[in-house]
Amino acid sequence: MKKRISALLMVLCMCTGLAACAGKQDGKKSEKPSEDEIVVSIATLNNPIVSNLVKLAQEYYDEKGVKLDFAVLPENDLREKATLEASTGGTTYDIYFTGPYEANFWITYGWAENLQPYIDKMTDEQKESLDLDDIFPSMLDSLSDPETGDVYALPFFGEASFFMYNKELLDNAGVTMPENPTWEDIYDIAVAVDDEEAGITGMTMRGAPGWGMSGAPFVTIINAMGGKFYDMDWNATVETDEQRAAWEMYKNILRDAGQDDIITYTYNECISLMNSGKCGIWYDATSNGPNLEADDSLIKGKVGYAPAPSGWLWNWGMNVNPNSSDEKKQAAFDFMVWACSKDYVDLSLEKDPSGASTPSGVRASTYELDAYKDLPYAQPTLDALSDLDFNNPCKDEVPYVGLQYIAIPEFQEAGDKMTESLAAYVTDEITLDEALAATQKAFEQAAEEGGYKK
């Protein structure tokens, strides 16, 4: 008997000890800040524009009793964590940075808070500074419920894609960028500019696997070359000549004229490479353009822009976790209004006149500001944003929407597998036939398991 009791006691001691540790931890946290301070946790990505938001928010966002806690995650990490958290109803974060891809099914499944009630309750001051009518309708629509029109996330910055090129290097190589280049043109220019001996790379693109990484430029190449992923009956159509051509194009560009560590490149590495003045062309998001004009860039003022044959459309918006407490939700919404407002655009432009850290691609008014409209990338960005059709991504009719992705939850896995095959194909680990077969299988499986295929 005695033994049992002593054992029990030990277990108890241990548990209380543990609880005490945990409790102490909690206690310490709530003690330090003033009593009813609300901590709003924000899961966000490591993009230059967002990094600037983190910095400015900590300096200038001054709402009594609210403390902001940013988790800056790599893009792939953010997606994985956010999806798992949202689907299991976690409360680790109060605000998630998500895009139209997530919005599609997050709204359906109730993983994002309906912001309409909050928007209706806004103060006049908030209303004026947020000014929803000023936001491009396409951006707001992609984050709203298509049936009721209720807004579920506020867009922070938006992007399309275009070519950015180093005019000097192109001149040196004796080539010019046509007004509306095709991918074949781009390949020729890239190869002409590439000069291994001088250490000059012809062209760079994201190469790191992940549907939001190398997947983004790659799928738009497929779209541009007439490929598609499904026919109208949801049969996967990866093993086709159009797709084959696109896969070859991507590989040829990067192998014949691309960066060295192809499959480790995310946009951050691309920025470094371009800014060092040793790379001819970069195909990426319009929101990255401003980085090339930043003060520490060696190619400031030497950058030309050209529209993509078929671009992508994306925006990073903020939505509120429906499982957070009401207090936190309101505090989170107030912060979002601040961050997505016109005033924030002004503030960021004031702090960094180069525009490199100003949220772009969301508001018409940004492109009318004196301080912004003459920046070299402003007009090309506006053009790129305007000629995209989110609902008709391909030349043929397809059953899905989305430009650089397919708006079904299963695309995350299929798209990741596709980019993994792509990386293996680019580095000659597998042949094109193997890569296409694997991708075909992944998309076929997605359509079947998702229940789209009849």
Partner 1 sequence: MKKAVVKRDARSRRAAAKKEARRWIAGIVILAFALFYFFPILYMILSGFKTEADAAVPAILFHPTLVTWQKVLADVSMINYLKNTIFHVLLGTGICLVIGIPATYALVFAKFKKEGRGESLYNWFVTTILLPPVAVLIPLYITFKELNLNHTRGGLLFLYVGFHLPLCIWLLYSFFKDVPEEVVEAARIDGCTNRQLIMRIIIPLTKTGIMTAGLLVAVFIWNEFFLGYNLTTNATATLPVYMARFGQQQGQFIAQLSASASISCIPPMIFGWISQKSLIKGLTAGAVKG
Partner 2 sequence: MSKIARNMKKKYPVERSFVVPACVIVAVATQVPFILTIIFSALQWNIVRPDQGITISGLSNFIYYLGNPEFYMICLQTIVMIGAALLSCLVFGYLIALMLDCDIPGKTISRTLILSPFFIMTTTTGVLWKTVILNTNFGWVGMIADWMGIKAVDFVSYYARPLVVFLFVWQWMPFFVLVLLGGLQGIPGEVLERASLDGCSWFEMVFKIKLPMIFNHMQVALMLGLIFLVKEFGLILTTTGGGPGQKSYTLTYYIYKTLFSGSNVGRAAALSVITVVVTLTVINLIFRAIKKRRAAYE
Residues of the shown chain interacting with partner 2 in the complex, contacts defined by CB under 8 A: 3-4, 6-7, 10-11, 14, 80, 83-84, 87-88, 105, 108-109, 196, 208-209, 260-264, 409-410, 412-413, 416, 420-421, 423-430, 435, 438, 449-451
> Is there a contact between 316 and 154 (Cβ–Cβ < 8 Å)?
no
* Kind and range of the H or E run holding 102: helix 100-109
Across 255-281, b (16+ Cβ under 10 Å) vs e yields eebbbeebbebbbbbbbebbbeebbbb
Q: Tell how strand 303-307 and strand 161-166 pair up.
A: antiparallel
Residue 218 CB, nearest distance to partner 1 (Å)?
20
CA–CA distance, 128 with 106 (Å, rounded to integer): 28
Residue 243 CB, nearest distance to partner 1 (Å)?
30
CA–CA distance, 140 with 156 (Å, rounded to integer): 10
Residue 302 CB, nearest distance to partner 1 (Å)?
22
CA–CA distance, 298 with 291 (Å, rounded to integer): 11
Residue 214 CB, nearest distance to partner 2 (Å)?
10
3-state secondary structure of 53: helix
Nearer to partner 2, 196 or 350 (CB): 196
Nearer to partner 1, 180 or 276 (CB): 276
Residue 177 CB, nearest distance to partner 1 (Å)?
28
Nearer to partner 1, 15 or 364 (CB): 15
CA–CA distance, 133 with 135 (Å, rounded to integer): 5
Which partner in partner 2, partner 1, none is near 3 (CB below 5 to 8 A by kind)? partner 2
* Kind and range of the H or E run holding 446: helix 432-449
Residue 377 CB, nearest distance to partner 2 (Å)?
26
Residue 400 CB, nearest distance to partner 1 (Å)?
30
According to DSSP, residue 142 is labeled T
Which partner in partner 1, partner 2, none is near 17 (CB below 5 to 8 A by kind)? partner 1
Say which amino acid occupies 354. S
Nearer to partner 2, 179 or 428 (CB): 428
Which partner in partner 2, partner 1, none is near 90 (CB below 5 to 8 A by kind)? partner 1
Which partner in partner 2, partner 1, none is near 74 (CB below 5 to 8 A by kind)? partner 1
Nearer to partner 1, 204 or 310 (CB): 204
For residue 380, how far is the Cα from the chain centroid? 19
Residue 253 CB, nearest distance to partner 2 (Å)?
16
Listed in sequence order, the residues at least 6 apart from 265 whose beta carbon sits closer than 8 Å to its beta carbon are 204, 205, 206, 207, 208, 259, 273
Which partner in partner 2, partner 1, none is near 22 (CB below 5 to 8 A by kind)? partner 1
Sites of contact with partner 1 (CB under 8 A): 14, 17-19, 21-23, 25-26, 29, 41, 46, 69-74, 77, 84, 88-93, 266, 268-269, 271-272
Nearer to partner 2, 11 or 364 (CB): 11
Which partner in partner 1, partner 2, none is near 266 (CB below 5 to 8 A by kind)? partner 1
Which partner in partner 1, partner 2, none is near 427 (CB below 5 to 8 A by kind)? partner 2
Q: Using alpha carbons, list the distances in angstroms from residue 46 to 40, 71, 74, 171, 316.
A: 18, 9, 6, 34, 12
Q: What are phi and psi of 237, to 5 degrees?
A: -125, 50
Q: Tell how strand 201-204 and strand 314-320 pair up.
A: unpaired
Nearer to partner 1, 173 or 356 (CB): 356
Counting Cα atoms < 13 Å in the Cβ hemisphere of 411 gives 22
Residue 420 CB, nearest distance to partner 2 (Å)?
5
What strands lie across the sheet with 66-73, from one edge to the other?
66-73, 38-45, 95-98, 314-320, 154-159
